[in-house]
Structure 1
Amino acid sequence: MSHVSDEPYAEVIGDPIVQSKSPAIHGFWLTELGMDGRYDRCHVTADGLERYLSLRRADPAWRGCNVTMPHKQDVLPLLDAVEPIARRIGAVNTIVRGADSTLTGTNTDAAGFMEPLGSARFETVTVIGAGGAARAVLAALADAGTGWISLQNRSLDKAQALLAEFDVPGRAYGLGEQVPAADLLVNTSALGMTGQPPLPHLLDDVADGAVVYDIVTSPLDTVLLCEARERGFATVDGLAMLIGQADQAFARFFGTHPPRGEDQRLRERILSGQGG
């Protein structure tokens, strides 16, 4: 956890952390820009979180970190300031160190989720899952003026409470229950992820011309996305959201925007397993 260097650096923390694709993304951008700096991964346990932040706070070379599970909520009371979007979502995924050694938490997941959707406004959306990722997605959809959200989850009470918290028009449904035809279907759950149970069949409740979006990154081509493409729906994979949220964090860490014209090369690098 110690670090001695004058080179500016940022990193991603979590437990576990070896699976993170963030070093590949940020490292690619730093190389493309020819910038001095680096982006690492650091394994931080729950017991070591407070000590980690104390050490990094004192390191002027440290620009900040991205935060993955299980620390997104636990870091909140350890920070000097938390930006409104992170307060609203209830989780921090990015910490930035100020020149005065203060630590500010924010959340780039909502912006990252919306980036591949552009300025599109969806009248009817189906969201699968009611966990931490769903909170960021609901915040983004609420801000985008979504007309109706069908939130499918095992626990109806949890789903309905989430809709009420984010003040979005909608209704909670059980997994696989018939819902209004959606212009956008989003899977925020772990269902369909490597080692997890599959999603129930969902595409019969998707309108013609709809977008199907799966934030799962392992595998990147989930069964849901493969079936959606076979049926002619536009699709968005989890790497699009990951790159979108990383863009926001990179600018905060290194003071410049990444070279997004190279997204295809970045994707190829990540999929080949290089740099990660």
Structure 2
Amino acid sequence: MDVTLTGETLLFPIAGDPIAQVKSPELLTRILVERGVNGIVMPAHVPAAEYPAFVAAMKATQNVRGLIATVPHKQATLALCDFPTERARFAGSVNVMHRRADGAWVGDNTDGQGYLNGVAACGYSVAGKRALLVGVGGAGAAIAYEILARGAAHLALHDADTARREAAIARLDARFPGKVSAGSADPTGYDFIGNATPVGMRAGDPLPIEAEKYERHQFVAECITQPEITPQLAIARAKGCATMSGLGMFNAQADLLVDAMTGARAEG
């Protein structure tokens, strides 16, 4: 990767709290360079309380042309963009924005497509399967939508925030009647199990799913990139389950993110 910093270099911050775990700046910058864009993706450690002011400052900085939001800022970003896409509105969150030529900011959500594209790259399809998804926050709501859009027979949702879970179920049931219900941390009876929470990122975190109940026939997917093999994913692999790590999700959506943050992605 050969980046030459000049006064014309475009900036694409990725904001989170924490941010040290993200692996995306180098990969996304490489894609920009390969596309002939003089730009860099830079990590920004921004606490939630300071995030609206940070976004305002980025909007005022004219060579900031896009912004990526990661945990815990995706839901807050929805209200901070001028024009969220239909995908983003349905998910209730935005993970990437770009500045249009007229100065307005368009927000999109690539999490669902990235997650399921990563699963597909592992040779697995959720079509016709019974799925359990744990976590319906910024990424989880988008992933839940995509699981059903790709033909899952049924999706159960579990979240420690029951109000958030019920709101997600209501939105999904309106679009996919009779195919979504409340679940628990127990993976018994499901073909596909996905973690869409940050639980497992820090040492000492509890298991987000009752992983000791995994069975060999199940596919287990993760969203966390660091550590690459979370404790619950290690259990799944030890039990013979096919798996996707969080890196699988990110690698699958890298081009989607660059398309969105540069404005190359269709708005819809």
Name the TM-score, length of structure 2 as normaliser. Answer: 0.80
- The answer to whether 1:140 aligns with 2:142 is no
1:197 is the counterpart of 2:203: no
State the distance in 2 between where 1:55 and 1:154 align: 33
Which deviates more, 130-139 or 156-165?
156-165
How far has the Cα of 1:249 moved from its partner?
Answer: 1.5
Give the match for residue 237 of structure 2.
Answer: 229
Shift of 1:188: 1.7
Give the secondary structure class of the aligned counterpart of 2:257.
helix
**Pair 1:172-2:174 in alignment:** no
What is the CA distance between 1:159 and its match in structure 2? 3.4
Contact 1:151 1:159 in 2 (8 A): yes
> Quick one: which amino acid aligns to residue 245 of structure 1?
Q
Task: Report the residue type matching 2:155 in the other structure.
Answer: I
1: CA distance, partners of 2:221 / 2:87:
22
- Partners of 1:134 and 1:14 lie apart in 2 by 16
Provide the rounded CA distance (Å) in 2 between the counterparts of 1:244 and 1:214.
Answer: 13
Structure 1 63/193 Cα, relative in aligned 2: closer, same or farther at 3 Å? same
**The one of 221, 224, 230 aligned to 1:216:** 224
Deviation at 1:207, TM superposition (A): 6.5
**Worse-matched range after superposition: 53-62 or 221-230:** 53-62
Structure 1 residues 122 and 247: CA distance shift in structure 2, 3 A: farther
The answer to whether the Cα contact below 8 Å between 1:183 and 1:207 also exists between their aligned partners in 2 is: no
- TM-score, normalization by structure 1: 0.77
Structure 2 matches for 1:154-173, cutoff 5 A? 154=160, 158-167=164-173, 168=176, 169-173=179-183
Alpha-carbon separation, structure 2, partners of 1:35 and 1:249: 14
1:51 Cα deviation (Å)? 4.3
How many angstroms does 1:111 deviate by?
Answer: 1.1
CA distance in 1, matches of 2:160, 2:137: 11
Q: Which amino acid aligns with 1:145?
A: G
1:39-118 equivalences in 2 (<5 Å) = 39-46=41-48, 48-118=50-120
Instruction: Report Cα offsets for 1:181-209 as digits up to 9, x if no partner.
Output: x221111233333231124533645462x
1:246 is aligned to 254
Aligned-residue CA RMSD (Å): 2.9
**Partner amino acid for 2:181?**
R
1:170–1:205 distance in 2 versus 1, CA, 3 Å: farther
SS in 2 for 1:114: helix
**Structure 1 unaligned spans of 5+:** 258-276
In 1: Cα distance, 2:133 partner to 2:75 partner: 22
Q: Unaligned 5+ residue runs, structure 2?
A: 1-5
Instruction: Please state whether the residue corresponding to 1:132 is helix, strand or coil.
Output: coil
Show the counterpart of 1:18.
20
TM-aligned CA deviation for residue 39 of structure 1: 1.4
Give the distance between the partners of 2:214 and 2:19, measured in 1 at CA.
36
User: Residues 17-61 of structure 1, C-alpha deviation per residue, up to 9 Å, x if partnerless?
Assistant: 333222122133345556532111233444544444444334443
* Paired position in structure 1 for 2:195: 187
Kindly tell me: are residues 174 and 114 of structure 1, through their superposed partners in 2, closer, same or farther at Cα, counting changes over 3 Å?
Answer: closer
Structure 1 pair 185–114 and aligned structure 2 pair: CA distance change class (3 A): same
